[in-house]
Amino acid sequence: MTGVIVVIIIIAILVALGFGLIGLVKGGKQGSDKMFKSLVTRVALSVTLFIFVMFAGYMGWITPNAVMVDAPIVQTQTN
């Protein structure tokens, strides 16, 4: 379920990016307003996504990948 929420937020960020592109192409005062609203939306969604991922990690809904910190050192024999 957590993965679905993350994907939905990422898709929403991409849609807002598309609306910003439309505003950029349109130009003028109306295009500038559309780009600004798109930027605010993208920033808000990105901050929300970051907070959600941090909260999901804290709650244990997601776990980081296992990293082998103390991996054995393989020594080669020299003759």
Three-class HEC string of the chain: CHHHHHHHHHHHHHHHHHHHHHHHHHCHHHHHHHHHHHHHHHHHHHHHHHHHHHHHHHHCCCCCCCCCCCCCCCCCCCC
**Is 16 within the bounds of a domain?**
yes
**Is 68 within the bounds of a domain?**
no
The answer to whether 38 touches 17, Cβ cutoff 8 Å, is yes
Res 56 pLDDT > 90: yes
Q: How far apart are CA 58 and CA 68, in angstroms?
A: 21
**Mean pLDDT of all residues in 56-76:** 78
Q: What is the pLDDT of residue 39?
A: 92
**Is 76 within the bounds of a domain?**
no
How many folded domains does the chain comprise? 1
**Mean pLDDT of all residues in 54-62:** 92
Range of the domain at 55: 2-59
